[in-house]
Structure 1
Amino acid sequence: MHTWYAALTLAGLLALSGCSRDAAEPAPLPVGAVGDCYAKASKAVDCAAPHLAETVFVAQETPPRTPAAIAPCQTSQARYLGQDFNTRLDVHLWVASDESWYRCDVVLPKSTHTDSGLETVTGSLRGALRNGVPVELQACLGEQHDQAIDQPYTSCDTPHKSRRLIVAPAVGTVAEPFPADIADRATRACNASAAAERELVGSPRVQAFFPDSAAAWDTGDRSADCWVVADSGLLPAVTPANVDSREEPTGPATNK
């Protein structure tokens, strides 16, 4: 998951969602529920219909205005999706207009920083990662990955330039303080994870991203975000994993 993208954009999400209202505006909406799907921010729809977000966590309180607010979202999304993998999926925080409750929604961005909007999904994502990561939820780019800019995702089922590894290797323990050697830890962890990917050919360049401050560390994230980039040519297409039957046998469909 884009765990720190979510944390870093928290303030903006609160600013957009927690707006004040006057007497002419309608009363706050009823408290949502885990498993609700939304085509718009405020009205739940059937998950079998096209939608943009699916709720994985609800709390009847005002969230703290710090990155720590995203922590229960991360824990809940892993439980809801089935496992905790790095994918194209991201988590967004939505706060009721009177700030009496908030929810965490899983979304499918069209680009790395979400500037290009969200994919429309048909079908529930509940349990979608229980048996691995479907190809359509993996993160691939047609160009060299650049963390500083927003880049559109491309399909992983054809050769591509950059790929995000689905495994997020650990770079520390929950109890330890922010480590001074975090960059070295993340680099070693990502290199090891990339080497374990049997489908990677040649000598692709490995990029490692990590919680690079004490504040980011305090959110509870202890993993690295790893990308591999082909120095020349392209990385091979991702081969679909063998997926056992689950609640949604065909998985969610995305409409680009």
Structure 2
Amino acid sequence: MRRNTFSAVAVLAAATLSLAACGGSSSSGTPSASSSSGPSGEITVFAAASLTGSFTNLGKAFEAENPGTKVTFSFGPSSGLAEQIDQGAPADVFASAATKNMDQVVEAGNASNPVAFANNTMEIAVPADNPAGVDSLDDLTNKDVKVVLCAQDVPCGVSARAVFKNAGITVTPVSNEVDVKSTLSKITLGEADAGLVYVTDVKAAGDKVSGIEIPADDNATTTYPIASLKNSKNADLAQAFVDYVLSDKGTAELGTAGFSKP
């Protein structure tokens, strides 16, 4: 603006036009354009315990790519999470370690159109020094070998028992744990000689445990479905997170953790 060229009225008009060109601002001081730039707000994701590592990483990456969003996770056994959802627990997304538990939520009218996003298989986990000398499924039938499993109504417990059925063996556990993380903890702490967990959990444990592969003919695979929930208070953000899990970036992160494509 040149010196003394415009009147005070012209100066005011120019200032008004300048603000309009910049998009103005909302009452909170945030540019109004931001409201249409992408998802915002918070969501809570209920996810199977076996997804703890990969989903924690995906949540951080999602937040970084979508400033102004926050993803809070509640990890646990899929069966328990499904019950909580059907009882009205506030959640926006459900990622289950079994189609059975997702079907329960869908049948209750709390979700629709779930999509499979990963597969997982079982593996024998033993303490790093393998004190019981376990090297096969048959060794788990030895009464002197302390075996720990997930509870039989939890997906990892269902899969473990399917493995034993496929192998034609009977295994009596010393304890049945609430989820796969609790099962693995018993092994890393030396409170059990062996247990059946997912291959992803053996990988996540690093050098704390050793993994023993289960023959393909005996092994069991579980499929993980994901869906946004009908009672979500932020449906757009919930669906955006689901889409992110299903994206190439989500698939890559899950693959790094040891999951396979469904």
Under TM normalisation by the shorter chain, which class is it? under 0.3
Structure (1/2) with the larger helix percentage: 2
With the length of structure 1 as denominator, give the TM-score of the two structures. 0.25
Rg larger for: 2
Of structures 1 and 2, the one scoring higher in RCO (CA 8 A, sep 6+) is 2
